[in-house]
Each structure stands twice: as C-alpha cells, then as structure tokens.
Structure 1
Amino acid sequence: MITVEVRDGESFENALKRFKRKCEKVGILSEIKKRQHYEKPSERKKKKILAARKKMLKKLRLERRLNGD
C-alpha cells in the first residue's frame, strides 16, 4: 500500500506528483496493464523469447557500431 502524506505548505499537485512517482517506481501501473487481459502461458513465453531476441540484436548492433565494423 503506497501512502503519501501532504507536508506543511505543500500543494496537492506536488503531493500527487510524488504519489505518481512512487506508483511508477513500484510498478503498479505496469502490473495493472499486464493483468487487464488474460494471457495464455504459451503467449507469455513467445513474448519473452521475442523480447530476448530483440534485446540481443540491439546489443549486437551497438557493439558493431562501437567496433567500427
């Protein structure tokens, strides 16, 4: 449970910004979006494999650019 106490002299907008930052840091919004629709385990696995491949290709491109190949 995330709580934010409004400090003396602090505006509501600033407290709301702090609350949103805390939620983002903990990952609440991404968790809600992930659970919004059911995803079959096979789909989850497929997405994980594609993300790993994409990450690897990006790393290779960066290494090639740095090495001058």
Structure 2
Amino acid sequence: MTQIIPGESEGIDSVLRRFKRAVSKAGIFPDMRKHRHFETPIEKRKRKALAKHKQGKRRFRQ
C-alpha cells in the first residue's frame, strides 16, 4: 500500500505528483491492469502463446 503524507504547506499538485511517482515505483499499475477482469484459462493460454511467438520473432531478427 502506497502512502504519502502531505507536508504542512505543501500544495495538492506536488502531493499528487509524489503519489504518482511512488505508485509507479511500486509497480501497482501493471498489476492492476493484469487483474482488471477475469481471464479464462483459454484466454490466458492464447495470450501466453502470442507473447511467446512475439518473443521468438524478436530473437530471430537479431
């Protein structure tokens, strides 16, 4: 859980900027996107196969 404590005379803009930076460092957004909706086992297999195929293409180009 990311927590930011605002300073005494700190503006909301700087607090929000610090919060966004802390969230991105913690890696919360990629995890949130991954768990946004339920993925069936078939969809998961297709996604992984596609990623493996793309990775193989990248290796072949080098």
Q: TM-score when scaled to structure 2? A: 0.69
Number of residue-to-residue matches in the alignment: 62
Q: Percent identity?
A: 34
- 1:18 and 1:52 map into 2 onto residues whose CA distance is 36
Alignment of 1:11 with 2:11, yes or no, is: yes
Deviations 1:17-61 (A, max 9, x none): 121122122232232332222111221122112112212212332
Tell me which structure has the larger Cα radius of gyration: 1
Q: Which residue of 1 aligns with 2:52?
A: 52
Distance 1:59 1:15, change over 3 A: farther
Matches within 5 A, 1:20-35: 20-35=20-35
The offset of 1:4, in angstroms, is 1.0
Structure 1: gaps spanning 5 or more residues: 64-69
- Structure with the bigger RCO (C-alpha within 8 Å, sep 6+) is 2
